[in-house]
Chain A
Amino acid sequence: MCLAIPARVVELRDGDLAVVDLAGVRKEISLALVEDVALDDYVIVHVGFALSKLDPEEAARTLALFAELDGSTAP
């Protein structure tokens, strides 16, 4: 139920709506719960609503944290 997926916004529509692309599948969703969403933003989509924007810089930082594990010694 709480499962939700990051999807890219490919079109903004009237009435607080947007079209997202999920690995080639396009779907109309509502932006009623988020603010300042722009084209090409990634949003977390749940039951047809964007719940939050994904922060690409924070995502990169988390991935970098994983990458640091490469070759590092015991914590």
Chain B
Amino acid sequence: MKYIDEFRDGALARKLGAHIARAADPGRRYHFMEFCGGHTHAISRYGVADLLPANVRMIHGPGCPVCVLPIGRVDQAIRLALDHGVMLCTYGDCLRVPASDGLSLLKARARGADVRMVYSSADAVALARQHPDRQVVFFAIGFETTTPPTAVAIREAAALGLGNFSVLCCHVLTPPAMTAILEAPASAGGVPLDGFVGPAHVSTIIGSAPYAFCAERYGKPVVIAGFEPLDVMQAILMLIRQTNEGRAEVENEFVRAVSHEGNRKAQALVAEVFTRRPDFEWRGLGTIPDSALSLAPAYRAFDAEARFPVAYRSVADHKACECGAILRGVKRPQECRIFGTACTPENPVGSCMVSSEGACAAHYTYGRYKDA
């Protein structure tokens, strides 16, 4: 496929690997975090780590929407479906995330809850139109990439006067999560980083400008990269060059889709429909101020948390699960003692084993054979 195959060329990848090996100073170690699960997936699937010298280590970041969703948020969705009898619509990745009482949305469905998998937020609005006698709730998760489609759905529901449609809004923001990672001291489980491979599709929306603080305030370079393997490798090469030269800048490898200012139309829609939550609990990263969105006052009628009594309750992760440390980059999936035994993609205990972008699922699918 055009714009995909060219960026997966194996021969070029090996050449890029050789360039990276020559650029990397054998006298130092490099630690780069790929923030996005999309990059984690590409690195695992295409064996990018195998093409890197031993002193260049990639650390998986928290940029996987279902991974950072805490149990309490899935519990809210399950309560809406089981206790309040709503038609609960959400993206496929959310259905298998383990929640309290051994439940997931999929298991709630087996108990009779009306849980629907949708491909798009527009499908949830369509269901609300088709079922005027039912309350339809869209369980909206995701980073800045997935937020604008939810804004479009809410605006459409408002324009149609759909009184039976609402949104359980769990949209989160990338820059505050990067700050949380950069602020975590080593004593509190922080991880030493030399720079970030910056988000691909999040950046199509927010642009490259919002990452400037990483370079200016923290002295860490950021290179925005596309999700194909050659994109990731080129970004790693650019990060090594910045590190060697003592530079900390925001560079953009994904110029074919990302501009400095981003998608202004989408940003305006998001600004109209949403407002920042004072704080939001993330799995692994804890409660981060100003890191997530809820519906703006003008659209509060479509806020499921205002319409139904389903207050958020914080729930601790499973004791054996290392998702928290893995999301902070402190541990690798294979360092979790239930990885691949009690916790598998078929029967996940932690959220990082659920989505294909999750660090555990990616390592289970593509990387674990090397550990044997």
CA distance A48 to B6 in the complex (A): 24
Identify B200's interface contact among A2, A61, A65, A67, CB under 8 A.
Answer: A2
Asked whether, in the complex, the Cβ of B3 is within 8 Å of the Cβ of A48, the reply is no
Distance in Å from the Cβ of B161 to the closest Cβ of chain A? 18
Q: Which of B7, B123, B199, B256 has the most CB of A within 10 A?
A: B256
Contacts of A53 in B (CB 8 A): 257
- Interface readout for B218-255 with A: 1 if CB under 8 Å, 0 if not? 00000000010011001001000100000000000101
B58 touches A (CB below 8 Å):
no
Query: Interface size for chain A: under 10, 10 to 19, 20 to 34, or 35 or more residues?
Result: 35 or more
Contact B22 A75 (CB under 8 A): yes
Whether B3 lies near A30 (C-beta < 8 A) is no
| CB within 8 Å of A: which B38-55 residues | 38, 41
A69 touches B141 (CB 8 A): no
Tell me whether A33 and B152 are in contact in the complex, defined as CB-CB below 8 angstroms, given that A2-B38, A69-B16 are known contacts: yes
Our pick among B1, B9, B357 for the contact of A2 (Cβ within 8 Å) is: B357
Q: Is the CB of A61 within 8 A of B255?
A: yes
Residue B23 lies at the interface, judged by CB distance under 8 Å to chain A: yes
Complex contacts, B227 vs chain A, CB 8 Å: 3-4
Task: Across the interface, name the chain A residue whose C-beta is closest to B156.
Answer: A32
Indicate if A55 sits at the interface (CB-CB under 8 A): yes
Is B148 part of the binding interface, using a Cβ–Cβ cutoff of 8 Å? yes
| A6/B149 contact (C-beta < 8 A), A33-B269, A52-B257, A75-B22 known | no
Complex Cα distance, B64 from A66, in Å, reads 28
Are A22 and B149 within 8 A (Cβ)? no
User: What bracket does the count of chain B residues touching chain A fall in?
Assistant: 35 or more
B149 close to A33 (CB less than 8 A) = yes
Cβ-neighbour of A1 out of B23, B146, B231, B237 (below 8 A): B146
- Cβ of B61 within 8 Å of any chain A Cβ, yes or no, is no
Minimum distance in angstroms from A34 CB to a CB of chain B: 7
Cβ-closest chain B residue relative to A16: B152
A48 to chain B, nearest CB (A): 3
Q: Given A33-B266, A47-B121 in contact, is the A66-B38 Cβ separation under 8 Å? A: no
User: Across the interface, do B201 and A48 meet the contact criterion of CB distance under 8 Å?
Assistant: no
Contact status A8-B145, CB under 8 Å: no
Which chain A residues border B143 with CB–CB below 8 Å? 1-2
CA–CA, A61 to B255, complex, Å? Answer: 9
Residues of B within 8 A of A14 (CB): none
Distance of A74 Cα from B65 Cα, bound (Å): 39
CA distance A38 to B263 in the complex (A): 17
**10 A-B contacts, Cβ less than 8 Å apart?**
A2-B200, A23-B1, A33-B148, A34-B265, A46-B146, A48-B120, A51-B201, A52-B263, A54-B3, A74-B22
Q: Which A residues are within 8 Å of any B CB, using their own CB? A: 1-6, 8, 22-23, 30, 32-35, 42, 44, 46-49, 51-56, 58-59, 61-63, 65-67, 69-70, 74-75
Q: Which residues of B contact A (CB under 8 A)?
A: 1-4, 6-7, 9, 12, 15-16, 19, 22-23, 36-38, 41, 63-66, 91, 93, 119-123, 141-143, 145-146, 148-149, 152, 199-202, 204-205, 227, 230-231, 234, 237, 241, 253, 255-258, 263, 265-266, 269, 355-357
